[in-house]
Structure 1
Amino acid sequence: MNQKIKILMIDDHPMIIEGYQNTLLFTKKEHQILEIDIANNCDEAIAFMDKSVEKVTPYNVLFVDISLPPSKDGLMTSGEDLASYARKVLPNAKIIILTMFNESFRIHNIIKTINPEGFLIKSDLTSSELASAFQGVLHNPPFYSGTVNSFIRKAISSDIVIDEKNRKILHLLSQGVKTKNLVSHLDISLSAIEKRKKQLREIFEVQDGQDETLLEAARTKGFV
């Protein structure tokens, strides 16, 4: 019996989308009929999703790139926002996240906020990996690529627990943001940030006050 699978691919690079599309069409099972729509930005993606809900022909699978131009109204700024929107309007759709980002903070944040059925880091990606991810997500989700699995293993094996705010501080420091400038990224005071940094140094058993020493310890444990 034939299985019709409705797919929305969202990426702002036409050649990448073409590669994804060709891979799926070439590697699909004989009984699978793929209907693929392509969106190159947030506005197109929202229009496709809304139309599929309106016509009661919802998508089964969404491929969502994280780095996308923002929507014209500024409400959607990335693939993360789109995936969150999809969770509301297409609750039964399986979401496959594709991204170049491989920092542990981003990986953790995407898993926590979106909990995608598939999560692929583009630097891990091959045609066979994409084909395996597609079939895996359809029949036995979740499917995570090597870098994501490595992060999850490190996080599980670590007995260190830090909250979202501290994760964000580590992430921003690793991006080169100075402590005095963290206030503009976080809704807490500079003194609260300093207290949290002190707490992080204690958690990671860092003796000196250098940010790089703290970051190195956090990297070793898979938090950066």
Structure 2
Amino acid sequence: MKHISILMVDDHPIIIEGYQNVLMATKEDDQTLLIDTANNCDTAQLMINRASNGTPYDVCFFDISLPASEDGKYASGEDLALLTQKVMPDAKIIILTMFNESFRIHNIIKEINPDGFLIKSDLTSMELADAFQQILRFPPYYSSTVSNYIKKTISSEIYVDDINRKIIHLLSQGIKTKSLSEYIPLSTSAIEKRKKQLKLIFSVKDGKDESLLQEAREKGYL
């Protein structure tokens, strides 16, 4: 009998209940699932630290949007995933999130490189069950939105660094160029220069921000 120790972190108890029911109903005959749950960063980090000193978790599910810890040290599922990788390097990390913007997907893959990355709007019960079993054996498993993003960016010949990605992302959120320096540690003139480069990279002929965003969207950067 294989005992699989699991931590599920999501701030909606009904969602955790749904995940638990799916995994318990679809587990293989030789699997015993031991599931701990947490609804916020404080509870989760206590459980992670306790497990790292006792029986480490085999699999951890993290939602990205979570109530931050009291001390502000952990503000999201990303922070908890990084803590887990540090104290339990053998644990498989699964990110489940509503966020489906390319910028967030890129950052999560770059920072965490999870064993599983599932966008909630892609998920069915069967996909969650299949993903779980695949991640146990042959990670990684990415749901369709993540897979499509990776295919698009790998097939694109355009290289856009993290700051440029952030500029594109903020512009798409309606942030004006003169306000970008509030979000990015660069002067407005340095940001303007990067925008010009981006327009060259994306072959924007009319120089408009809207055209840049359209090209970025078509090539999978938004």
Q: Give the TM-score normalised by the residue count of structure 2.
A: 0.99
Aligned partner of 2:218: which letter? Answer: T
Q: Which consecutive unaligned segments of at least 5 residues does structure 1 have?
A: none
Aligned to 2:84: 86
Runs of 4+ aligned structure 1 residues displaced above 6 Å come to none
Distance in 2, matches of 1:6 and 1:107, equals: 27
SS of 2:100's partner is: coil
Aligned partner of 1:35: which letter? Answer: L
- The answer on 1:31 being equivalent to 2:55 is no
Aligned to 2:201: 203
Q: Deviations over 1:36-74 (max 9, x none)?
A: 00000000100000111122x000000000111111111
Q: Which consecutive unaligned segments of at least 5 residues does structure 2 have?
A: none
Distance in 1, matches of 2:51 and 2:205, equals: 56
Q: Deviations over 1:99-142 (max 9, x none)?
A: 11111111111001100000000000010000011001000100
Distance in 2, matches of 1:189 and 1:208, equals: 24
Aligned partner of 1:3: which letter? Answer: K
Q: 1:177 Cα shift?
A: 1.2
Aligned to 1:222: 220
Between the two proteins, the alignment pairs up a number of residues equal to 222
Aligned to 1:114: 112
Q: Deviations over 1:121-168 (max 9, x none)?
A: 000001000001100100010000001000011011100001011011
- The answer on 1:128 being equivalent to 2:126 is yes
Q: 1:190 Cα shift?
A: 0.6
Q: 1:188 Cα shift?
A: 0.8
Aligned to 2:163: 165
Q: 1:175 Cα shift?
A: 1.2
Distance in 2, matches of 1:110 and 1:51, equals: 25
Q: Give the TM-score normalised by the residue count of structure 1.
A: 0.98
Distance in 2, matches of 1:80 and 1:204, equals: 30
Aligned partner of 1:124: which letter? Answer: D
Aligned to 1:150: 148
Distance in 1, matches of 2:85 and 2:210, equals: 38
Aligned partner of 2:86: which letter? Answer: K
- The answer on 1:49 being equivalent to 2:76 is no
Aligned to 2:11: 12
Distance in 1, matches of 2:130 and 2:30, equals: 16
Aligned partner of 1:195: which letter? Answer: K
Q: Of 47, 50, 63, which aligns to 1:65?
A: 63
Q: 1:174 Cα shift?
A: 1.0
Q: 1:208 Cα shift?
A: 2.1
Q: 1:210 Cα shift?
A: 2.0
SS of 1:198's partner is: helix
Distance in 2, matches of 1:85 and 1:184, equals: 28
Identity %: 64
CA RMSD of aligned residues (A): 0.7
Aligned partner of 1:219: which letter? Answer: R
